[in-house]
Structure formats: C-alpha cells, structure tokens
C-alpha cells in the first residue's frame, strides 16, 4: 500500500510542484491548506488539488496561530526586538498542529515546498543556495524530521518552474513568490503593529549618538531596526548615521557610524539543536545571522543555556530577536535567538 502523505499547499508553485512530484513517485497524496488569519484564501490551492486529482482540506488554525505566532511577534516588538515569526511557526504550527491534523486524516508524513534537505537524522541546506530555507527550520525535532518530506530540496527555482510547466501546472508556473510576513497584508509592518499594540509603544523620543549627544527626535521605536540607515531623520557632518540600539527603557534611539555596527561576539537564548543534544564543549561552526546571509566562521560555546558565538572576523549588524543558525558544512546544527546584551 502506498504511503499516505499530506502536502501543505498554499497555491504557489513550490507546494504545487511538491505535490505533483510526490504523486509521480507513487505516494497517496492529499492537500492541506492552513487557514491562519482573516483574509486567507484557499481557492488557488484548492484549484491545484483538483487539477492533480487529490483530496483537499482546509484546516482552520487561527486561534493556535494567534496564540503561538502573532502574540510572539507582538511581544517581541514590545521587548524592543525584531522577531522572525517563521522560525516559531514551522515547529509549532506547520510541522506541529498541521501534522496532528494530517495524522487524524490517516497520513504518515507531511510534505512542504521548502528548499531544504533531510538526510537520515540530519537537516541540510537546500541545493539551491539562492533559495535555501534551512535557516527557518533549525527548531525542528528529530521526531518531526522523521515525518517530513522536502521534494524540492535538491531542485533550484528555475527547475521547479520548468517542472510546473511540464506537469501541466501552467497556472502557477510563473506565479510571483509571496514576500514578507504572511499574516501582514498591510504595506508596512508598522501599520499592523499600530492595530495591535497600545499607542504608548509609538511615542516619539530622543535620538542620541553613542556618546549621548542629542541629534533629533524619532517617531516611535517600532519604526526602526538595527543597522537601518534610511528614514532615521538625522544627518549632518557626522553622518551618515545607522541605528545601533533601541533603548526601550528611556525610549531613545541610539545611532552611530557604520564601524559601530561591527562586532565579533554575539549571544543567543532559546537554543534548539537538531540532534536534540546541546554541545558540551566549544566547537568551530559557520553561522548565519539572517536568511541567506553570509556564512561566517566562528566558535560556538554554550554556557548556562545561552550560546556565546565568537567570530573569526567582525560581523555587521546583529539584530536582537532575529535567529542565528549554526552550520557544519551543509548540515544545520541548530540555532537560537540573538541578544545584544551580555
């Protein structure tokens, strides 16, 4: 009997081709669409499932998504951090709650259109360096990995689009990729924050340089992030200025020169390792501090549940709340949430 697989379908080219490839490989497939927020639209995914001749279910996960992901996103901004909600959504919602529903429907595995690879007990980078999504998956557990399929892991985007045409999926072959955060339909993320956070978090305040000199006023700290240059609103002979720190205690925006953004050490909390085991001693790794960012050589040491990463060369613009992900060659070791304070 063929293995029954659920495919998380969005209606885009990646999940559509993933489903088609699994059908070609002999799996018994069904499509699952995650209804996560108001305004979500399952129609494109349903049309693809119909074209492929597979069962399709709309899975309502709005309350779980709000509790686990949206609240996390908002709370991070309250703390003065810049969060990455996908890092939380993948283990808790997509490969957590959605897989529970898949099991209830009789499926043994869950597939997605992620560009990443699973080899035995290892999570590895996708073959397409420009589309690799392993950065977002470092919180997956061994139990989850054993139940996941990534049909596009060894493909590149051009190949995926070509396969879509070959398999008769012209309606998604050249479909534009979704950009930004899935639950924010507003043009600017600050519009979303204004709808969901008290006005006090958008109070204007002072802009100071790292020596404490007053340079101007900011329009509310949620409008800024570490390393930002445009839109600060201060200039002069000492510029250009970049955001160095958001000080929520004093409601001050601290700015400085580009050289003030470069550091060799960063700390991380909320650690997660793919193997399930925390490193007992310092080890050489490569680390990525943003999606598709450069892999930087460094040393990872874990003390008291926190990671200390010391890089071989200074790295620019660590951002509190973003993930740092550790690699050993192609293999994803794990990661954590960056903190700017010791």
The answer to whether 86 is a known catalytic residue is no
Nearest to 116 by CA among 339, 322, 273, 331: 331
Active-site option among 29, 86, 89, 107: 89
Position of tokens 């990646």? 14
From residue 335, how far is each of 83, 193, 245, 262 by CA, in Å?
A: 14, 27, 23, 21
Q: Are strands 205-209 and 306-316 parallel, antiparallel or unpaired?
A: unpaired
Identify whether the C-beta of residue 211 lies closer than 8 Å to the C-beta of residue 244. Answer: no
With H, G, I as helix, E, B as strand and everything else as coil, classify residue 27: coil
For CA atoms 292, 76, 117, 286, the dihedral sign is positive
**Dihedral Cα 114, 120, 121, 125, nearest 10 deg:** -40
Gap between the terminal Cα atoms of the chain: 55
Active-site option among 29, 86, 107, 182: 182
CA atoms of 17 and 317, how far apart (whole Å) = 36
Identify whether the C-beta of residue 15 lies closer than 8 Å to the C-beta of residue 113. Answer: yes
Q: What is the CA radius of gyration of the chain?
A: 22
The answer to whether 182 is a known catalytic residue is yes
CB atoms within 10 A of CB 25: 13
CB atoms within 10 A of CB 184: 17
CA atoms of 118 and 202, how far apart (whole Å) = 43
Position of tokens 């069962």? 55
Identify whether the C-beta of residue 27 lies closer than 8 Å to the C-beta of residue 3. Answer: yes
Instruction: List the catalytic residues.
Output: 89, 182
């Amino acid at each position: 009997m063929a293995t029954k697989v659920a495919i998380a379908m969005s209606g885009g080219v990646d999940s559509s081709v993933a489903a088609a490839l699994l059908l070609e490989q002999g799996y018994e497939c069904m499509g699952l669409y995650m209804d996560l927020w108001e305004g979500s639209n399952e129609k494109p995914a349903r049309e693809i499932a119909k074209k492929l001749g597979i069962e399709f279910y709309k899975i309502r996960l709005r309350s779980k998504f709000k509790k686990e992901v949206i609240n996390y996103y908002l709370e991070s901004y309250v703390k003065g951090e810049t969060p990455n909600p996908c890092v939380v959504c993948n283990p808790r919602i997509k490969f957590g709650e959605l897989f529970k529903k898949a099991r209830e429907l009789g499926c043994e595995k869950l597939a997605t259109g992620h560009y990443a690879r699973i080899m035995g007990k290892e999570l590895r980078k996708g073959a397409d360096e420009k589309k690799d999504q392993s950065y977002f998956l470092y919180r997956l557990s061994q139990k989850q990995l054993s139940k996941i399929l990534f049909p596009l892991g060894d493909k590149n985007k051009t190949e995926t689009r070509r396969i879509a045409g070959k398999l008769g999926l012209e309606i998604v072959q050249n479909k534009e990729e979704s950009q930004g955060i899935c639950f924010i339909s507003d043009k600017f993320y600050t519009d979303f924050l204004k709808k969901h956070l008290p006005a006090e978090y958008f109070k204007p305040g002072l802009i100071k340089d790292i020596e404490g000199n007053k340079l101007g006023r900011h329009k509310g700290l949620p409008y800024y992030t570490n390393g930002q240059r445009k839109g600060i609103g201060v200039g002069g002979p000492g510029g250009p200025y970049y955001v160095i720190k958001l000080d929520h205690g004093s409601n001050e925006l601290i700015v400085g020169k580009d050289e003030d953004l470069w550091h060799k050490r960063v700390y991380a909390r909320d650690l997660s390792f793919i193997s399930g085991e925390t490193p007992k001693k310092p080890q050489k790794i490569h680390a990525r501090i943003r999606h598709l960012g450069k892999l930087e050589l460094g040393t990872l040491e874990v003390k008291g549940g926190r990671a200390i990463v010391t890089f071989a060369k200074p790295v620019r613009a660590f951002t509190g709340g973003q993930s740092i992900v550790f690699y050993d060659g192609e293999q994803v070791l794990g990661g954590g949430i960056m903190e700017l304070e010791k």
